[in-house]
Structure 1
Amino acid sequence: MSKISNKVGFGEAIKRFQESKVLLVGAGGIGCELLKNLLMSNVKEICIIDLDTIDLSNLNRQFLFRKHHVKQAKAIVAMKTAQSFNPNVKIEAIQANIKEPRFNISWFRQFGIVFNALDNLDARRHVNKLCLLANVPLVESGTTGFLGQVQVIIHGETECYDCNPKQQPKVYPVCTIRSTPSQPIHCIVWAKSYFFPQLFGDNEENDEGIQNIAQNEAQKKEIEELARETRELAELRNSLVTDSNAFEKIFDKIYHRDIARLRDVPDMWAYRAPPTVLDIDDLGQKAGHLSSPWLDEQKIWTLEENFSVLKSSIQRLSQRLKHFASEGLSFDKDDKDTMDFVAASANLRAYSFGIEQHSEFDIKQMAGNIIPAIATTNAVIAGLCVTEALKVYQNDSDELKNVFMAKRADRVFHGEKVCKPNPYCATCSFKHMKLPVDHNRMLLKDLVKRILQDVLHYSEEVSVLKEDLIYDVDFEDNFDSTLADLGISGENNTVLTILGEERRSDNEETTNSQNVSRIPLLLEILPMDKHIDTSNTPYRLPSETIIIPLTPEPLQSSSDTETEMADTKGVDDIFEVMPSENEIIDIEVIESEDVPNSGSPKLRASSLKRKPSIDDETETKKSKN
């Protein structure tokens, strides 16, 4: 679809939508609802792609699946179940990773519009980039609990998914997790990512993890201690299926000897109480009369109940380990045995360090980094996706909205006009060029010298990247290789990223402060027409002149900027209920955390404020809302 122009009526937009072929990426909570909506809208053809299989935990909100579908491909089952809604619509289902090379730019170009219903940041960014290159509109969506969001992305018209930075997942230092936990999540991460895999996971993988940490960790003594403890646990792991006293030995090491060792480091407890050593004999006696406390997941277990649950879960997991000794067991939040182990071991550790304990239900959410999904939110967001898609087919950019859903007393929805692209965004601020080549004959040096430097006037400081760097002025190893040797093919629509500066002639004076850096050039390699003679040149240049703009100069701070930031305080009420208005929320797999509140309206407005891509009209409307 070309850039937005020539507005049409709503009836004509519906007709165009129904005649189009659409791509739906993801068949989860939003994906199931979207597939139903698209079928009810009577679109001509739908392609749905998802790599995942159906899990038992999906059934409460992904209504196209039933219990007998568990472990089957989501895309295939969704197609078969939903086809009866409208047999006239052609549905193609693909179980695959959207990042596979076969799903290239030319593959995306067959669709009139793309709907994203994904649950991870990496795949979203990939689809965003491909849609920008293919010039296909993208409707991005996400939910978390009662919150939801829909964003429309059209190359050159609106912000893309990467125009505003996304919050990165938290990483917890190994020394904090091991020695000085201070929050419940520290104990949960320790139980899930250290204690469980050391006892029941893959031995080789665990050893590799310790080695990798040691390569990057400055505190060598701490890492050596960690490696020693790992070896001790490995010995205990080997005795799990043969030694009847294995549990007692494990408990004594983790909750008695290791805790006692930490207590012997007085500097660690100068500003907090030292951890408490647990006595296995005392706990064993008190827990002897308990009957299956693990059945109540909503209750916060007592110390004795946690002891009983840990003992029972280790016994259950040890029996399973007999059949999977070579590959080990892996953590699964929907596996009762593994969750019992993680919950009980985390709570016992929390008790030792004077940290609040939690119910197994709450620990499951934190260990799986999930917020319980709500089917109603998914349904509402899926409906908004189709509504915004119809606006795209109306070719009316003034009516396009980014819509946010929040559980609030005064209103549920907040819509803001789509913003212009961020000129500093590395993903969408690019120049696109198509270059037909004979990749078997064309050398990399032909590309650099004859095209980039002679035709496009790049300076010698130019870099060529595929997934990794394949050329720059200090890396010429591939200079005499053909494009085919480097895995660059026209048949696969390989896209190369060109970074560099504009070449200036000798009589052009430049200063150190003068900007000569160009925006990225995305060079799409196409197959050469077989009827064209390539004996002289193994490539064909486009007929039009290619002009690659310079990167925009950063805006200077001024009093005007201060005023503009202050004017955004009208959106503070929205800011308080949404994790971030500038983020598409990751479905089911994010950590739900509020954006830090500085207490200053101006600073809070600055957190919400985008880079200088918001036009004055949009900013004024937002502040009035």
Structure 2
Amino acid sequence: MADKMKVDKAGDDQHIDESLYSRQLYVLGHEAMRRMANSNVLVVGVKGLGVEIAKNIALAGVKAMAIYDPAPVEISDLAQFFLRKEDIGKPRAEATQPRLAELNTYVPVSVHTANPFENLESLAKYQVVVLTETLLEAQLKVNEYCRSKGIYFISADVRGLFGNIFCDFGDEFSVIDATGENPVSGIISGIDDEGLVTALDETRHGLEDGDYVTFSEVEGMDKINDGTPRKVEVKGPYTFSIGSVEGLGKYSRGGLFQQVKMPKILKFNSLAEQLKKPEFLIADFAKWDRPIQLHIGFQALSKFAASTGALPRPMNAEDAKAILSLAADIAKTIEEGAPEELDEKLLTELSYQAQGYLSPMAAFFGGLAAQEVLKALSGKFSPVVQFMYFDSLESLPSSTSRSEESCKPLGTRYDGQIAVFGRDFQDKIANTKEFLVGAGAIGCEMLKNWAMMGLSTGPKGQIHVTDMDSIERSNLNRQFLFRAPDVGKLKSECAAAAVAAMNPELDGKITALRDRVGEDTEDIFHEDFWEALDGVTNALDNVEARVYVDRRCVFFRKPLLESGTLGTKGNTQVVLPNLSESYSSSQDPPEKSFPMCTVKSFPNRIEHTIAWGREIFDSSFVNPAQSVNLYLSQPSFIESTLKQSGNQKEILETIRDYLVDAKPLTFEQCIEWARLKFEKLFNNDIQQLLHVFPKDSVTSSGTAFWSGPKRAPDPLIFDLENPEHQDFLVAAANLHAFVYGLKGSTDLSLYRKVLDAMMIPDFKPQSGVKIQANDSDPDPNASAGFADQNELKDIAESLPAPATLAGYRLTPVEFEKDDDTNHHIAFITAASNLRALNYGIPPADRHKTKLIAGKIIPAIATTTALVTGLVCLELYKLIDGKNKLDDYRNGFINLALPFFGFSEPIASPKGKYNDTEVDKLWDRFEFERNVTLRELIDSFEEKGLEITMLSHGNALLYASFFPPAKLKDRYPLKMTELIELVSKKAVPAGRRNMIFEICADDKSGEDVEVPFVCVKTRD
């Protein structure tokens, strides 16, 4: 693989492999990636937590990474996913290094050989040093050295269901972007003499106190347009103050504001100082009093291990008593925030679990610590200041007992987990049947955690994983089970094979499928399949699939673990049968869309022109080819088109244009087409708009038409030497050629030859053309599509008969955002930026255009790892069979801030009919046989309910207003027969249960919400 991330001859620029890092670049940005690419990182300790941190750092793309851990591999270390049975006895770092190095060929991974605790000078070459599972005395020593050399220091530790992290980034650490949110911008309608700025048309400005903004295009106050950042004081959702504007002139009209991210300086204290005066980031506000207790407890563990040579034994009362004694002494050294008394129960549990290791906890802190490394190197996002403690004691099992005997090591790879939960619960984990839907970023991390937990490795255990997608190069940056040779292979199969290699006990226990989970695959994921499961975990990236899986889980009453990520943000949700609401019970806000009028004629932001460019792509290379193919393949196409309302003429003229008038026979003709397309879009259409609305136009109220959000455009004069013009021409010509199956070219000499011979007709404004001025106004062209039928028939008759073109087809372009050679993003970028130049809008680079046009979801490995850790902590609870809402936690995290929020799942909605209380989500009316319609209605009448409507899917089977004769014929039909009669479709042979929705009135005649109906149609 060619090295695409390297320093050029000037030594100050890195070329980033966007095909690999594309999703991460949308989170961190190019500048942060360049800083990371100049940095060396050392990770000390590569047991479970250390390798999680190292894995995430390697995927992120630093200059180089070293690992240090000379201890020999033991059987219990196989809970570290890069160690194998044949590695036992080898130094941990040496055994881990080759597999860690495979993750990212741009990140060399070496083994640090000098003892960093004895040879501190060996740390001088690193920008960040990360210590894991290190005694406190050694931490203090390394931290002191790192501070003296300006090296960023992080330490992290996990002990069973407990963990912590500490960060020290020095006395003056500069945060260049505290939140990672896109800077807000807007249009202003006024600035008064006191510096109060008002947003246009009461549009929320989205600013906060202390933000900074710059101004541009403000008329009457030229000096305010100088780019000076001005501090904001928010006065209301639509107004903010910038202080005195004396000497800046008097506001006339217009103007834009743009938020500016200002550096923020943070001061960190040393570890020695923080031990006595700790600062905590609260991870769980329901446990706000625990950090100081755990702060003392972890110090006690370190002192115990330093004096005895080992951590406290699992469930050992004597060792726990010693920990409490040490904790009492340590509490006296706390100078600020010392607890009034120690939580002996909490600290005893910490002692009991001290030798425990849990993959989900390592994933959680591995994601968190790696993100802190990236923050230190890049200055991007707010770091942890300075300690964070987290526990998940709710995950302890109540269905099995723990004792010193049951938690003793057995000489297995699961000894760390057994130390926390005991042998009996390990057996329950091993005999679970779980279904994972999706094998992408979350799916890979989930399977890795499951493999390390030993999920489904027992005689009754089974994992099913399905994913219909194949591996792409951009997946390799965060879907860590895949390697470069896997590109093009099926995700589910590669992921299953990878985790079976990590834990051979999964061999034969994991089934990889390639099918989408939906209504069209219910013959594969049939009723027997769902009923055999213990639970379902989603690892999906689209709402439609999530909703379907959620509905299936509700119907079969299976618990569902749901999660998702967006950059540094993540969420987890637990769906509990008969207890909680489901995923579908709430909805995300609708995707933001732009007014059509704005996109078509009056853009004022680059997002508007990108949306326009995407529409031009479809209307030029997708829709016309599809219409031509329909005309050629469907004999009734013309007839059905003539019966339509709206755009029949446009459709027919497009077919004539693409099939007759402008059909190219050579690539040179495609170049001509592209040149004329440029002239129309960026010159003629703009001149026509200005003909309808001249720059000096005024509205009926006397105000300037081109004001506020409306920016007066200017036509562009084509210049082949202009890179933006050139990019449009080359992309448009090649895409047009693709539609017709012609060979394209990027040879500019050919383009010059064609253009030199072309004559571009002068623009002549058209009279009678109407343009909608505002979205609130009626569309003046609303009836334009209702063309004269004779005119439409004339156009139709001018088309060549399909029979004369037998077998001829055009090729619609299938938009693919991740192929840099197909001209798709190149066309949209060029079209958008040319449109932006028309309207005086700052253009966007290809990277930003790709994000918006491709609707890309930003992603980073650290967030994914942390979120899956949280999901698996909830999985422990489901396996245990916990049955109270407050046993579970939904999670909301943002690593950029950083923020952690947890809440118990929301209870499912309840209802009532007559005197009966029901769960609207989980309850249902069940019939154990295939009843008739009459029997079903009578059954409800016995319950005091009168059915007013009964439906199955989109088929209305019964309504009280149906004519008696119609009902008479339907009453004796069994429910399957009724469905087939109305829907005209046969009930699938394997379907045993049918779902029906009803509307019903209670005894008082009031409409009531009632559960759905389930009829068992077959045994």
TM-score norm. by structure 2 comes to: 0.44
Instruction: Indicate how the Cα distance of structure 1 residues 81 and 6 shifts in structure 2: closer, same or farther if over 3 A, else same.
Output: closer
Partner Cα separation in structure 2 for residue 435 and residue 32 of structure 1: 41
Structure 2 matches for 1:141-540, cutoff 5 A? 141-192=563-614, 194-203=615-624, 205=626, 236=662, 238=664, 241=667, 243=669, 244-266=671-693, 269-271=705-707, 272-280=710-718, 283-284=719-720, 287=721, 304-323=722-741, 326-336=810-820, 337-396=823-882, 397=884, 398-409=886-897, 411-423=898-910, 429-438=921-930, 443=932, 445-446=933-934, 448-453=936-941, 455-474=942-961, 479=970, 482=974, 483-484=976-977, 485=980, 487-488=986-987, 491-504=990-1003, 510=1004, 515-528=1006-1019
* Aligned-residue RMSD, C-alpha: 3.6
What is the deviation of 1:42?
1.1
Partner Cα separation in structure 1 for residue 602 and residue 811 of structure 2: 31
Q: 2:435 aligns with which of 11, 20, 23?
A: 23
Classify the secondary structure of the residue corresponding to 1:328.
coil
Q: Judge conservation of contact 1:64–1:81 (CA < 8 Å) in 2.
A: yes
What is the deviation of 1:181?
2.6
Q: Judge conservation of contact 2:445–2:868 (CA < 8 Å) in 1.
A: yes
Partner Cα separation in structure 2 for residue 55 and residue 427 of structure 1: 44
The yes-or-no answer on 1:112 pairing with 2:539 is no
Amino acid at match of 1:392: L
Instruction: Indicate how the Cα distance of structure 1 residues 94 and 350 shifts in structure 2: closer, same or farther if over 3 A, else same.
Output: same
Number of aligned residue pairs: give it: 486
What is the deviation of 1:412?
4.2
Partner Cα separation in structure 2 for residue 341 and residue 316 of structure 1: 10
Instruction: Indicate how the Cα distance of structure 1 residues 148 and 427 shifts in structure 2: closer, same or farther if over 3 A, else same.
Output: farther
Partner Cα separation in structure 1 for residue 642 and residue 684 of structure 2: 24
Partner Cα separation in structure 2 for residue 341 and residue 524 of structure 1: 54
Partner Cα separation in structure 2 for residue 274 and residue 70 of structure 1: 48
**Range 471-480 or range 377-386, more displaced:** 471-480
Which digits, 9 at most, give the CA deviation of each residue in 1:318-341, with x for residues without a partner?
443443862321111112221111
Instruction: Indicate how the Cα distance of structure 1 residues 66 and 524 shifts in structure 2: closer, same or farther if over 3 A, else same.
Output: farther
Instruction: Indicate how the Cα distance of structure 1 residues 371 and 497 shifts in structure 2: closer, same or farther if over 3 A, else same.
Output: same
Partner Cα separation in structure 2 for residue 95 and residue 17 of structure 1: 26
Classify the secondary structure of the residue corresponding to 2:583.
coil
Ranges in structure 1 where 5+ consecutive residues have no aligned partner: 288-303, 505-509, 529-625
Amino acid at match of 2:491: K
Q: What fraction of aligned residue pairs are identical, expressed as a percent?
A: 25
Instruction: Indicate how the Cα distance of structure 1 residues 171 and 124 shifts in structure 2: closer, same or farther if over 3 A, else same.
Output: same
- Residue of structure 1 equivalent to 2:760: none
Amino acid at match of 2:1010: I
Q: Judge conservation of contact 1:129–1:428 (CA < 8 Å) in 2.
A: no
- Residue of structure 2 equivalent to 1:54: 471
Structure 2 matches for 1:130-149, cutoff 5 A? 130-149=552-571
Partner Cα separation in structure 2 for residue 470 and residue 238 of structure 1: 54
Amino acid at match of 1:362: K
What is the deviation of 1:230?
9.1
Point out which structure has higher relative CO (alpha carbons under 8 A, 6+ apart): 1
Q: Judge conservation of contact 2:890–2:902 (CA < 8 Å) in 1.
A: yes
Instruction: Indicate how the Cα distance of structure 1 residues 39 and 161 shifts in structure 2: closer, same or farther if over 3 A, else same.
Output: same
Classify the secondary structure of the residue corresponding to 2:504.
coil
Partner Cα separation in structure 2 for residue 80 and residue 449 of structure 1: 53
Ranges in structure 2 where 5+ consecutive residues have no aligned partner: 1-396, 402-420, 457-461, 631-637, 700-704, 743-808, 913-917
Partner Cα separation in structure 2 for residue 33 and residue 517 of structure 1: 44
Q: Judge conservation of contact 1:489–1:525 (CA < 8 Å) in 2.
A: no
Amino acid at match of 1:431: D
Which digits, 9 at most, give the CA deviation of each residue in 1:18-77, with x for residues without a partner?
211110001111001111111111122210011222223212211222333333322122
Q: Judge conservation of contact 1:13–1:391 (CA < 8 Å) in 2.
A: no
Q: Judge conservation of contact 1:462–1:472 (CA < 8 Å) in 2.
A: yes
What is the deviation of 1:141?
0.5
Amino acid at match of 2:557: N
Instruction: Indicate how the Cα distance of structure 1 residues 471 and 432 shifts in structure 2: closer, same or farther if over 3 A, else same.
Output: same
